[in-house]
Amino acid sequence: MKMTIAEIAQAINADTSLLSEDNLNKEITSVDFDSRNIQQDGLFIPLKGEKDGHNYIESAAANGAGATLFAKDHQDQLPVAIPALLVDDPLKSFQELSKYYLQKINPRVIAVTGSNGKTTTKDMAASIMSAGFNVVKTHDNFNNEIGVPYTLLQMESNTEFLVVELGMDRPMQLDFLSKLVEPDVAIITMIGEAHIEFFKTRDKIADAKMEITHGLKEDGIFIYDGDEPLLQERARDLSFTKMTFGRNENNDAYSTSVDVEKYETKFKTNLWPDQEMTIPLIGDYNVNNALAAILVGKIFRIHEQLICKQLANVELTKNRTEWLKGKLGESILSDVYNSNPTAALEVLRTFNGTQVDGRRIIVLGDMLELGEQSLKMHASLAREISVDKDDQVYLIGSDINALADTLEPEYDSTRLHVYPKEKLAELANDLAVDMQPNDTVLLKASHGIHLEQVVAKLID
């Protein structure tokens, strides 16, 4: 990002009455809303949340900020250290600036959402497109009203493709984000139970996910899970070009064979029947994510061999189904960024099909935002946990007790370990003491449980 303060002010209709000619001609080279991370000559965005970002403007200036947005209703706090652009709402102006910059750079935009798999699909699509183009993708989980504008403003002037992840936890959120980025390609990976506490039914989740098409360009392409009736029904009347992926042969892209190994998955598709493809992920559910990304590659004419190469070497966002090695040599399958019943059942099924040398250990935490159905959904995980296969089970949280109650007839207290959420450190210590070099352990929970701290204890 490179813009003068004058250009930024014009883009967001900011009041520049306090700025000199020299201020207006100053070049801004980056943007951030965290004063600790601001770069030299960066634009600081003082957002209002639990803390008011206006209180950190002086800190941002000390760390090199070249200018700041500033809410007009905070003028009694006006800084003197750096130029201030007066606006009604810094967040709205931040979003307007990102929209302006997106239109200025004008890349092709691929937008991805879904109850599960959106981050993995984003990573795969970005990897495939980078075989032939300059690509920027969403960093980590920057997928909301703050994260998406931040992603847009990270683009360099030579960016040709933007692969952006769009998240949601309420109606009309995707409507806003889709209209912000105006995708050329919109992808829905799947409809699950994530956020069902707020939406109540999968039908309403599907309605909300379909909002990703609201900003889709007129000549855009909609890619979705063709095996999902809720999406089939909603896509039927759309005038966009549509492409589907899945397991059934009526899809545009479907798998013809899947071989799940311990550290990777090999598969073939109808698109290139003789070509075996490899992804560095386990689980046949990740083949669907790969198929969605492959369709993106085909749309933009990436060669088959390059698609294969890029999938095999994809750089994946951390904490999403990654194999790690513990300090004793144990194998750790870490999937601790988020969890919902569909995702948890899939990874449990895959984990129990994995060949192990020693014990198989499961560590599960609460799946959040499941509402009235939470206890039932936690208990349902028992169908993928077997006393014959899974030697030890560690559970942490509150609603996870429903799973503990279901497992108790099969597991005695030496094999089933249950902890309240506030006892995370105790779980980590107990697990570390129990661990043996040949063990294989799965960790899965919603991010709010913070199982990444347990992973850190095992590998540090």
Output the known binding site.
114-120
In the β-sheet with 135-137, what is the strand arrangement from edge to edge?
135-137, 161-165, 108-113, 185-188, 221-225, 241-246, 253-260, 265-269, 277-279
* Amino acid at site 297: G
The torsion angle over the Cα atoms of residues 318, 147, 314 and 278, rounded to 10 degrees, is 90
Q: How far is the C-alpha of 404 from the C-alpha of 416, rounded, in Å?
A: 8
CA angle 342, 343, 344 (to 5 degrees): 95
Q: How far is the C-alpha of 60 from the C-alpha of 254, rounded, in Å?
A: 50
Binding residues for ATP: 114-120
As given in the structure block, the two tokens for residue 128 are 């495939």
Closest Cα to residue 264, out of 190, 322, 338? 322
Closest Cα to residue 352, out of 283, 281, 278, 431? 283
Task: Answer whether 437's CB lies under 8 Å from 330's CB.
Answer: yes
Task: Answer whether 211's CB lies under 8 Å from 132's CB.
Answer: no
For 24-55, give the secondary structure using H, E and C.
HHCEECEEECCCCCCCCCEEECCCECCCEHHH
17: Cβ contacts below 8 Å, ≥ 6 apart: 86
Q: Which residues pair with 394 in a beta bridge?
A: 363, 417
Q: How far is the C-alpha of 297 from the C-alpha of 429, rounded, in Å?
A: 45
Task: Answer whether 398's CB lies under 8 Å from 420's CB.
Answer: yes
Q: How far is the C-alpha of 411 from the C-alpha of 406, rounded, in Å?
A: 10
φ/ψ (deg, to 5) at 451: -65, -15
